[in-house]
Structure 1
């Protein structure tokens, strides 16, 4: 079964052209799934896997504390794997039929207050190389709502400082043009003219944001930087790599931005995904009312 998994991953990588991040998720999910089938279900042949085997595996995930969203992702991975086997005539039936995705819990995204955003964005200061880089990264995330994965994939050629916009390739290879604010432009220009040149050490590299080796910074590398800066800024809220993206969208809507425009900038295919930020705004408004109105 390991060879079948390898063939499937090759198919996703070569024929579907999925990102490394997505490939990693498929690999983790299906390795766990097939390991269960071999060790717990005592099944070494994919033709022997049945619906009950899969349901037992999903119950195991639930009992181990996995969220509805994580279980739904596992189901999607398993379903894609078995459909591939069916198309390749390796199996004659699909055991994932009639297995429903669990209802995802609707959690409102956590956002930073304006004062917290200011504290975070002001944390990397000075003329030091890494301070310039970190300042530019935080400014561009809050100014554009880019996903962290999109930000670290930016090349210098994607930034148009004179025109004031960033050209981004997002999910599904969809292109979008997002305006840059004046503070973000200033931070990026300072970094390109200063810190980035120092990190390059005379080498050639297209990536905009670089690590200490002068190579493209990874998502994991940025996440470590963000946690450290948040700690130094004394932000006690739990942060995720999406926190600045959520804050960008919520603050725009709170200040009267058009929902469709925010959808376009975030790169959401469906406006219902963007509408969650209107709920966040309403919740924050209710909290402010409760906290400050004398008769609340």
Structure 2
């Protein structure tokens, strides 16, 4: 991999190249991930967090000031052993190794070093884990869980309608929690039955809205969102008005957060009698599995989920085969 042109003298990147330690290149790597790799903010944060963990480990070693050119495969294998010894799952160890490979690839591009020792690292072998899904009956109970309690007030009723719309969006579209909270008012077309969402790597895709989801959104937009936006109290919040404003609002009129979505999913999972392990991604898995069970094409499902590779989508075929085997065992006369 050829190095790039050297940066202009006096720039912070030139200063980083002149510095001997690994930590001096962390800021440049952060910028590289955002500007050149086009990663989503959450992905960038994960890479930076993993790199900082490696840099902290380096500080504890006798060769704490080791430079990029002095890093060997044995040095990185020692770090891999440390990751495993503290109890990290194989998938987590593999993610940390991917970060190291990307970091040293960046150093090669910048001309800081000529080799990438991390490329020789083998990721741990992973078990094929089937995603947990809810049955259609469980999903129905889950979506019915948000109920307005008479006498609790206007704001409480508005929050219930918001929760109902949020849960319906998660299951109807198969979107990730970050994609749902990123929806703007202009992204939703209730008349056409579709929405435009922004996925990983800022890739846009169109997802469908079923009649139940459209009804929940219509009720939320008509009766709940104005309350949460403060319109009924004459509160001026320009940031939550207009086509570019967030679709889903918090109690205080701000954009909904991922943490809030996780909390409300856990809350209604308990209320509906589902497992406490249910998460927003469980609804995404359930959406995909139920789509395949209904005869959806795998390629179409890949587009709806926003998967870059069909191999990622194929895991749901295994989930569906598991269900079919259970049906066979239950109904076959010789089972």
Displacement after TM superposition at 1:270 (Å)? 2.0
| Aligned with 1:21 (options 31, 38, 42) | 42
Count of paired positions: 296
**Corresponding position of 2:272:** 233
**Larger Rg computed on CA atoms:** 2
Aligned match of 2:161: 132
Where do 5+ consecutive residues of structure 2 fail to align?
A: 1-21, 149-153
Q: Indicate yes or no: 2:115 matched with 1:93.
A: yes
In structure 1, the residue matched to 2:204 is: 175
1:152 pairs with 2:173: no
Deviation at 1:237, TM superposition (A): 5.9
Partner of 2:321: 282
Partner of 1:184: 213
The C-alpha deviation readout for 1:236-286, integer Å capped at 9, x for no partner, is: 262232101110111111122222221221112222221211111110122
- Secondary structure at the aligned position of 1:123 is classed as coil
8 A Cα contact 2:133 2:286, kept in partner: yes
Tell me how far apart the structure 2 counterparts of residues 264 and 145 of structure 1 sit (CA, whole Å): 11
Q: Report the CA distance shift for 1:231/1:40 in structure 2 as closer, same or farther (over 3 A).
A: farther
The structural deviation recorded for 1:34 is 0.8
Rounded Cα–Cα distance in structure 2 between residues aligned with 1:287 and 1:246: 19
Report the Cα offset of residue 27 of structure 1.
1.5
Say if 1:168 and 1:175, in contact at 8 Å, map to a contact too: yes
CA distance in 2, matches of 1:116, 1:107: 21
- CA distance in 1: counterparts of 2:142 and 2:62, whole angstroms: 49
Deviates further, 33-42 or 150-159: 33-42
- In the superposition, the TM-score normalised over structure 2's length comes to 0.83
Please say if residues 119 and 233 of structure 1, whose CA atoms lie closer than 8 Å, have aligned partners that are also in contact.
Answer: yes
Check if 1:262 corresponds to 2:312: no
TM superposition shift of 1:105: 2.1
Q: Give the Cα separation in 1 of the matches to 2:324 and 2:264.
A: 31
Quick one: which of 93, 96, 115 aligns to 2:137?
115
Whether the aligned pair in 2 keeps the contact of 1:69 and 1:105 (CA below 8 Å) is: no
In 1, Cα distance between equivalents of 2:34 and 2:309: 26
Structure 1 position 42 matched with structure 2 position 42: no
C-alpha distance after superposition, 1:156-206 (max 9, x if no partner): 110001111011121222221122100100101111112111111141321
CA contact (8 A) 2:193 2:208 kept: yes
Provide the alpha-carbon RMSD of the alignment: 1.9
What secondary structure, in the 3-state scheme, does the structure 2 residue paired with 1:176 have? strand
- Give the drift of 1:219: 1.3
Q: Which runs of 5+ in 1 are unaligned?
A: none
1:30 to 2:51 alignment: yes
SS in 1 for 2:280: coil
Q: Does 187-196 or 10-19 show the bigger shift?
A: 10-19
What secondary structure is seen at the aligned counterpart in 1 of 2:118?
coil
Query: CA separation of 1:242/1:158 partners in 2, compared to 1, >3 Å: closer, same or farther?
Result: same
Match of 2:30? 9
d(CA) in 2 for partners of 1:165 and 1:230? Answer: 26
